[in-house]
Structure 1
């Protein structure tokens, strides 16, 4: 298979696999390092490279999960507290081999608009997800309220002008995830030839 077809197949086979669908076992740290390395090659206007990551594994996942639970309880007192959501947060973390917290460091000059830096981090995440797919690693980019909460900035060693953009949850592949229905290209592309 030529390189173009390999790339097309890789793109088409990438899936968002929720932690409940992860298989047993750990992903090797060397594979996670390769996934992180792929982020460096994402496009970034002005080479700001705004992505920041913190990798949790082993006891680090437990420590991070406990912090998230405490924050959830603090922000959702009394009747706002949702036990099902709380339990799902714990269960998802327990299925992960690694959790990568994702941040965006705003450049000090503010020369570029924020959206460009968010786009650069998103591009880095796409590279990481494609790399994970190539290695046979299941991954899920979680962007729920707790994973993008400003309290996550302390873990990322970022300031109030920066952003927490979720977390990439990694695990071994488990059950196969079917390809979701995609709209045909004609639904979102218009050619202007004249």
Structure 2
């Protein structure tokens, strides 16, 4: 299947960052999440390292993520650096969306591929995911 240059250009140009203030309670079905993640895995990698790891938080798991992020911030921030606004944002944001995807990287420091190459592959994976979300109107 071929796509016209104008179709690809439109998709690339329509993709936009969605800020937390713009989150909605729109339900994103598991099938769409799986397609988004699957398209992420089609990103090119040097040496076929496929360093991406995805963790999906839906439903009650978002509450657990919210609690975890708040506690991690509280435990790892010196009292004189603790900002209540930052804590509130960390704990509120996972609850503002119906799906949260944590994008992680598994790099083999003993492997032949550099960390920089794996990071570049991660960027490609995320771009694939962003374009897929744009195609779904998310």
Same fold, judged at TM 0.5 (above)? yes
- Quote the residue 2:21 is aligned against: 20
Check the 8 A contact 1:20/1:92 in 2, yes or no.
no
Check the 8 A contact 2:65/2:94 in 1, yes or no.
no
Please give the root-mean-square deviation of Cα atoms over the aligned residues, in Å.
1.3
* CA distance in 1 between partners of 2:127 and 2:28 (Å): 19
Question: TM (normalized to structure 1)?
Answer: 0.67
Runs of 4+ in 1 over 3 A off after TM superposition: none
CA deviation vs aligned residue, 1:137-163 (integer Å, no higher than 9, x gap)? 1xxxxxxxxxxxxxxxxxxxxxxxxxx
CA deviation vs aligned residue, 1:107-165 (integer Å, no higher than 9, x gap)? 3642011100010011000000000000011xxxxxxxxxxxxxxxxxxxxxxxxxxxx
**Bigger fraction of residues in helix:** 2
Q: Aligned residues, how many?
A: 136
Task: Provide structure 1 residue ranges, at least 5 long, that are not aligned to the other structure.
Answer: 138-194
Task: Provide structure 2 residue ranges, at least 5 long, that are not aligned to the other structure.
Answer: none
- Quote the residue 1:161 is aligned against: none
Q: Report which structure shows greater RCO (CA 8 Å, sep ≥6).
A: 2
- Quote the residue 1:153 is aligned against: none
Question: TM (normalized to structure 2)?
Answer: 0.92
